[in-house]
Structure 1
């Protein structure tokens, strides 16, 4: 059922686009959504032409007329972007932040009012309704606000409710996670090319291999190490390939990757907190 709510996006990047693409399919009519950004008029025109949403160059107007305000700018632009519209935000509005690393406390401080803030960390698979999103409540957010945010993000995938301190880890794991998978696919495609497989054939095989493996993990509830061992015959091809991955410390690299992304989320948050203080 479509909801009679106005949603304003501050920021029109890839995450805003992914959410708009998903949400307009089930929950909101395009005209219920208004998009504004810092200065990129061409990007706004693209969003309007592609999704039918309203666009607004006057950020204050967009924010003042909204029931839900979604902060979708880059974290480095958050302090300036939030401060520029703080005076038109009121305590009846719900703020949903997609800003990696930026705490609800920092957002409330920038706005200077007791506003309800829900932090969310979706990923770009929201565009096809397959996001893994974690949400957390700020100090002034209620269960009613949680329900609104949960309904909103369930239109684009699954939703997990977590404590705010866990969102750094969520950012490093699933927020950035699609990029790790895409990077793996890049490598597999390059390998297919080097071993002489037709690119179109290789792409289909790679994608179905990843999809099939994900479905196996979900359907069987077996630990990934068990499934891996079931594929790995002694002295066989898989064992030979896994041996190379172990030589290059593949698992260690992935773990270090996720830890570093988590640390970066924490750094972004600290940088904004410092600017607020």
Structure 2
């Protein structure tokens, strides 16, 4: 993993301290993929946020950008995508031959990062999701030509420590963003509707919540064990004239499936539109 190289602990620096950075820090520190004493976090202004992360995870904060980045081996770009150009400008002089840049920036392409940095550098573009905080992220990564086999493996090990990690061609990143990057929000959206319906039908809040959570967990496990055959699983519990059929029929009347498909495709289109902002 990135935490060691030839017996030497590597220095990892997170630039940005938002929810995604915290999710990855939490998962990586808990799993041991990163070591707290050599993991640094910095941002432009919010010192209280940095203190909060340092207190919770034992990582290093309170450094200015220059001190944090000095001798950094792994630099994780976790700022807002709109700050990508300024962020890359800030790190350029700290990049050395062994540096690895890991980008969490939605829509910011490898080509843009390479040109902004202006020197050969290993760049790994990633799209995790916030389930990293509980070790359940679905993360896709894309590599530039400077990433070595060892760096590739280290990145897979890092993201595997917080869930599933797969390597894709960069051209697939918009689809990844739409399916798994934004995906947890779709599930939460469904859970919200189930919670509201359950309470309106007479269940108390906590009972409905517990039933929904366990139902989602069970369904996820069933999908995993059946190699993702969602349609087959749905049909198996949709008996003619039964309650499930009544619900699915209503969903079909309201075109729920088509709405979800359209929403996922629109998320991919938005990812592509955002990406166009970062092309030279």
| TM-score bucket (shorter structure) | over 0.9
Match of 1:52 in 2: 58
Distance in 1 separating the partners of 2:73 and 2:90: 18
1:112-169 CA distance string (max 9 Å, x none): 1111101111111111111111111113222222111111111101111111111111
Match of 1:127 in 2: 133
Residue 166, structure 1, aligned to residue 139, structure 2: no
Quick check: 2:72–2:94 contact (8 Å CA) kept in 1? Answer: no
Runs of at least 5 residues in structure 1 that lack an aligned partner in the other structure: none
Match of 2:95 in 1: 89
CA drift at 1:29: 2.0
Distance in 1 separating the partners of 2:179 and 2:227: 20
CA drift at 1:57: 4.3
CA drift at 1:187: 0.9
Quick check: 1:34–1:56 contact (8 Å CA) kept in 2? Answer: no
Superposed counterparts of 1:30-69, under 5 Å: 30-69=36-75
Distance in 1 separating the partners of 2:228 and 2:122: 40
CA drift at 1:52: 1.0
Distance in 2 separating the partners of 1:86 and 1:222: 43
CA drift at 1:181: 0.6
TM value normalised by structure 2: 0.94
Runs of at least 5 residues in structure 2 that lack an aligned partner in the other structure: none
Residue 16, structure 1, aligned to residue 25, structure 2: no
Quick check: 1:104–1:139 contact (8 Å CA) kept in 2? Answer: no
Distance in 2 separating the partners of 1:181 and 1:222: 16
Runs ≥4 residues deviating over 3 A: none
Please, what is the CA RMSD of the aligned residues? 1.4
